[in-house]
Structure 1
Amino acid sequence: MSGLTGRSTAEPAAAVRVFAGFAMMCLGMFMAILDVQIVATSLPTIQAALAIAQDQISWVQTAYLIAEVVAIPLTGLLTQLVGMRRLFVIAVSVFTAASALCAVSAGFATLIAARVLQGFSGGLLIPAVFSAVFLLFPVRLQGVATTFAGVLAVLAPTVGPVVGGWITETYSWHWLFLVNLVPGVTAALGAWLFLPHDAPGRDTGAAVDLTSLLLLATALAALEIALKQAPDRGWVSPPILALLAWTGTAVALFTRRVLARRRPLVDLTLLGDRNFAIGAALSFVLGIGLFGSVYLMPLFLAYVRGHGALEIGRIMLVTGAAQLASAPIAVALERRLDPRLLTGFGFALFGLGLGLSARQTAETDFDEMLWPQILRGGAIMFCLLPPTRLALGHLPLHRVPDASGLFNLMRNLGGAIGLALIDTVIYGRAAAHGTAILERLRAGDAATAVAIGIPPEMLAAGADALDDPAALALVRPLIERAAFVETTNLAWALTAALTLLALVLVPFVRWRPRGEAMPR
């Protein structure tokens, strides 16, 4: 990126302009991430308004996520082709226009088309922001910039449910998309005015490898669709196996092709860098925990506790508050301590917060969720800031955009795979847990009856009482709820175990204090 002075920015006036431009980039990224969550809370409302079939409504989210995951690894190439400033302005402008199209959609097909545009342009914004940290700022300011971007990146999913619930209850579903217009225009104009002019790093006339692009897009799309449908259809069903087989084949062909090209679509040789490879793996695991916790909490609070979207959002604000409170601490420590220690601390604390949620009961609510949320929120910046530096901070400037794309892609893939595993645990194991609970009741287990809310006198009438249709109709919802709580706890335990398992990678990171060369 020859046109960026980035790490050598010194003049106060220039530094203020750079920070202003970077803040505009972060605003666009925040809106793109927030959009996923606020729309998720109001899918039933959109379904009713547009008369969308129940088995089709999930595509409103899936279309966005597939387009997003395809766009993320292309950010490096596009940054090289058109420059960081132009790429961001184009992407946030397309995202804003697509938001307007979503708001005026009159049917399923037009809404899905607009969501694809939204997802692709939104997917370019996230890695562009994190690469800008290293392209725009000197080393002494990169921690502050990363923290600012990181806070917004993980705060958006936390406040998303409450914002989406409030918008839906106060206005209409159209405002879930219209809310992006003013911030989008502001971000585009601000970035154009304040970001430094950067020259493209590659010959813009050079041919883009369309074959590699097609292989990458279809592989990621097939993987996303397989992960979404596998919990319902079964992991060994023919459609899922076919999708996974194509994913593997396309990835193999893509890898072989890009490694043989002088100007690859995505620079996979980055994975040969030990620190980047470990950082990408940590990003993948963080995605499982982040996406998983933001998914499991609303699911539990809605199904078990019966809360609406707005109340769920209020409860989940604890995570965001803890994250904001810990951010300045993370920045201060990151400047003074070995990032490997901070990374280990962050993942250990995050894993503990996930693990404590694996002890929920049907009565668990705000009070019981308070400390697990505080621990997770306090850990997030330690799981994001030091690993980002470890993965990207030592790379040459021209490799940062590609690296940022891959780094952020791993977090999204971790989230997608994590959600599929969570759904498989919850819905695949629920029937077995329900049957086991019923058998314990038939055996006269009074503790189980009390735990799930069955009147003790029903057990006193004998096991045959549970086979009575009227009694079974009364008991079944209680058993299903208890089974759901148990399988949800298993899902929390799984995410906690995977998070803690990532700690084994941290000692293998190579590190030298600032000012010393990083060993390769």
Structure 2
Amino acid sequence: MNPSTQLAPPPLTGGKLVLATLAVALATFMNVLDSSIANVAIPTISGNLGVSVDEGTWVITLFSAANAVAIPLTGWLTQRVGQIKLFVAAILLFVVSSWLCGIAPNLIVLLAARVVQGAVAGPLIPLSQAILLGSYPKEKSSTALALWAMTATVGPIAGPALGGWITDSYSWSWIFYINIPVGIFAAGVTWLIYRDRETPSRKLPIDKVGLMSLIVWVASLQIMLDKGKDLDWFSSPVICILAIVAVISFVFFLIWEFTEKNPIVDIRLFAQRNFRGGTIAISVAYAVFFSNLVILPQWIQGYLGYRSVDAGLVTAPLGFFAVLLTPVMAKIMPKSDARVLATLSFLGYAGVFFMRSHYTTDVDSWTLVLPTLLQGIPTALFFVPLTSIILSGLAPAKIPAAAGLSNFVRVFASGVGTSLVTTGWNNRTILHHAQLTEQTGVDNPAYNNAIASIHATLGGGMDQAEAFFERSLNAQAAMLGLNDIFWLSSIIFIMIIPLIWLTKPGKGGGGAAAAGAH
């Protein structure tokens, strides 16, 4: 039968539909969970593997970069292999790579396994959306997408809390091992239910030149950002070479994809005002949001002395309003201007980060938790309206490519943003440390009084008092550096609001768009 004329299988019903939804949702949850579960475990992983926390952060950034590269391949692989075979294979490969992450004896092996894990995770998000939509009647598509959106929202939120509990109670390896039973169940149930509902496959040419240039510029840029601080940036020949390779390959990639008949990434979509403005806005916003989720637990553990599980619990309240309000969004979107909702989301984020910019070294737990709790409100208003803007006005045939491209930019931006924010925090900490150090010395009466007070309180020698003072100074410098990052994050959210209003007002129906957001 001609694939173009093959009828779609009927929707699932009853217990089979419930079980299928659970399996597909678990595959989605497993994927998005792994984008954040390592956040609170980075200090522990770094210590166990004998590397710095900055190097440990590569566990997050390389996963994001590999995931971003793989996303544009989903459409081609689906038509080449078949939707169900590709989905099940991606789950099983994710399970294997998770096992390799868990047994990694050193950072090199762990990073290699994370790259594989990120790459095979690429098809899981778009395919889970497509499979769920094909399982429900058209009139219940909003229900399917609401269930999917709740799963995709809970994952990054539950990740830090679950990762912290596992790291403290067992071992950091188990944050990866837990994917094994979940993945095997999801793959098995999916295959049993959907194997007779496979989509047709056909041989298609692939844009090999475009794919290779994409890999080259993404890899060189990500490595440059991750290694820049260690190699003193552009004073290092390695960083200079990586920068040159990234720029040349990126320019070549743009020219090639613009002229290629069957490009792997349809960059012509950026000619559409809504796609351009919405994609830039969601990518910058998500980069700021995600990178702050990475450094906040590091500061809480490294300077406030919280355990991994406690650091995770500080970020967990983000899920309360996010999950509670996500189903509501599906109902109010058709009656609302997506630009207004997205603007409210950005203003909410700006307010949350402004609150955090006033943290001090003796901050209490409630002051830590309150902004995180409130952050759930703008998070619920974030994905659906912005994706509705991105996909509005596009022909139906263009929507899969547009959703794939916007996801690619957003996911890659999160990896780049994490590298930049980590480096920025380090640089601002060094600057504040230098400024604070200028105020110390035997000629400063306040410094002498502080040392005398510490010595009287702690006892011991003066060396111990000076060491304690230095630790306090380091903590204060790190706090001031982090406050700078929070303040800048708040300003960025305000600055990108005009991008939303440069788009045309879209008609309602954000529910369908919601799927592409995560």
Q: TM-score, normalised by structure 1?
A: 0.84
Whole-angstrom distance in 2 between the partners of 1:111 and 1:59: 10
State the shift of 1:481 in Å: 0.9
Contact 1:2 1:198 in 2 (8 A): no
Aligned equivalent of 2:386 = 387
Aligned equivalent of 2:502 = 508
Query: Residues 474 and 326 of structure 1: is their aligned pair in 2 closer, same or farther, counting only changes over 3 Å?
Result: same
Whole-angstrom distance in 1 between the partners of 2:503 and 2:6: 29
SS of aligned partner of 1:304:
helix
Q: 1:484 aligns with which of 478, 482, 487?
A: 478
Aligned equivalent of 1:474 = 468
**Which amino acid counterpart does residue 331 of structure 1 have in structure 2?**
A
Aligned length: 497
1:324 equivalenced with 2:323 (yes/no)? yes
Whole-angstrom distance in 2 between the partners of 1:199 and 1:40: 37
**Which amino acid counterpart does residue 153 of structure 1 have in structure 2?**
A
Aligned equivalent of 1:233 = 231
Q: What are the within-5 Å matches in structure 2 for residues 64-103 of structure 1? A: 64-103=63-102
Contact 1:126 1:408 in 2 (8 A): no
**Which amino acid counterpart does residue 483 of structure 1 have in structure 2?**
A
1:297 equivalenced with 2:291 (yes/no)? no
**Which amino acid counterpart does residue 256 of structure 2 have in structure 1?**
R
**Once the two structures are superposed, what CA deviation does each residue of 1:216-272 show, in whole Å capped at 9, x if it has no partner?**
111111111122222333442332232222112111111222222221112212222
Whole-angstrom distance in 2 between the partners of 1:351 and 1:153: 23
Aligned equivalent of 2:187 = 188
Aligned equivalent of 2:222 = 224
Query: Residues 165 and 508 of structure 1: is their aligned pair in 2 closer, same or farther, counting only changes over 3 Å?
Result: same
State the shift of 1:176 in Å: 2.3
Whole-angstrom distance in 1 between the partners of 2:335 and 2:477: 47
Aligned equivalent of 1:257 = 256
State the shift of 1:484 in Å: 0.8
Contact 2:32 2:156 in 1 (8 A): yes
Contact 2:354 2:486 in 1 (8 A): yes
Q: 1:214 aligns with which of 205, 209, 212?
A: 212
State the shift of 1:62 in Å: 4.9
Query: Residues 472 and 101 of structure 1: is their aligned pair in 2 closer, same or farther, counting only changes over 3 Å?
Result: closer
**Which amino acid counterpart does residue 267 of structure 1 have in structure 2?**
D
Contact 2:359 2:483 in 1 (8 A): yes
Aligned equivalent of 2:276 = 277
SS of aligned partner of 2:37:
helix
SS of aligned partner of 1:232:
coil
**Which amino acid counterpart does residue 499 of structure 2 have in structure 1?**
L
Q: Mark the runs of 5 or more structure 2 residues left unpaired by the alignment.
A: 457-461, 510-518
Whole-angstrom distance in 2 between the partners of 1:510 and 1:198: 38
Contact 2:39 2:294 in 1 (8 A): no
Contact 1:270 1:276 in 2 (8 A): yes
**Once the two structures are superposed, what CA deviation does each residue of 1:45-96 show, in whole Å capped at 9, x if it has no partner?**
55676x6655865555454333222212222332343343332222112111
Q: Mark the runs of 5 or more structure 1 residues left unpaired by the alignment.
A: 462-467, 516-520
**Once the two structures are superposed, what CA deviation does each residue of 1:409-460 show, in whole Å capped at 9, x if it has no partner?**
22222222322332232211222212322344569697xx8xxxx849659x
State the shift of 1:289 in Å: 2.7
Whole-angstrom distance in 1 between the partners of 2:55 and 2:495: 37
**Which amino acid counterpart does residue 209 of structure 1 have in structure 2?**
D
Aligned equivalent of 1:518 = none
Query: Residues 240 and 142 of structure 1: is their aligned pair in 2 closer, same or farther, counting only changes over 3 Å?
Result: farther
Aligned equivalent of 2:199 = 199
Contact 1:226 1:240 in 2 (8 A): yes
Whole-angstrom distance in 1 between the partners of 2:319 and 2:266: 34
Contact 1:5 1:136 in 2 (8 A): no
Whole-angstrom distance in 2 between the partners of 1:48 and 1:480: 19
State the shift of 1:212 in Å: 1.6
1:436 equivalenced with 2:430 (yes/no)? no
State the shift of 1:14 in Å: 5.5
Query: Residues 503 and 187 of structure 1: is their aligned pair in 2 closer, same or farther, counting only changes over 3 Å?
Result: same
**Once the two structures are superposed, what CA deviation does each residue of 1:331-351 show, in whole Å capped at 9, x if it has no partner?**
332232121211111111122
Contact 1:157 1:294 in 2 (8 A): no
Contact 1:131 1:401 in 2 (8 A): no
Question: What is the aligned-residue RMSD (CA, Å)?
Answer: 3.5
State the shift of 1:199 in Å: 3.5
SS of aligned partner of 1:243:
helix
1:339 equivalenced with 2:333 (yes/no)? no
**Which amino acid counterpart does residue 467 of structure 2 have in structure 1?**
A
**Which amino acid counterpart does residue 484 of structure 2 have in structure 1?**
L
Whole-angstrom distance in 1 between the partners of 2:507 and 2:106: 56
Select between 192-201 and 287-296 the one with higher mean Cα deviation.
192-201
State the shift of 1:121 in Å: 0.7
Q: TM-score, normalised by structure 2?
A: 0.84
Whole-angstrom distance in 1 between the partners of 2:494 and 2:332: 22
1:493 equivalenced with 2:487 (yes/no)? yes
Whole-angstrom distance in 2 between the partners of 1:300 and 1:58: 13
SS of aligned partner of 1:38:
coil
Query: Residues 109 and 424 of structure 1: is their aligned pair in 2 closer, same or farther, counting only changes over 3 Å?
Result: closer
Whole-angstrom distance in 2 between the partners of 1:209 and 1:56: 33
Q: What are the within-5 Å matches in structure 2 for residues 285-434 of structure 1? A: 285-392=284-391, 394-434=393-433
Select between 255-264 and 40-49 the one with higher mean Cα deviation.
40-49
Query: Residues 57 and 318 of structure 1: is their aligned pair in 2 closer, same or farther, counting only changes over 3 Å?
Result: closer
Contact 1:158 1:313 in 2 (8 A): no
Whole-angstrom distance in 1 between the partners of 2:250 and 2:395: 26
Whole-angstrom distance in 2 between the partners of 1:73 and 1:302: 36
Contact 1:293 1:354 in 2 (8 A): no
**Which amino acid counterpart does residue 89 of structure 1 have in structure 2?**
V
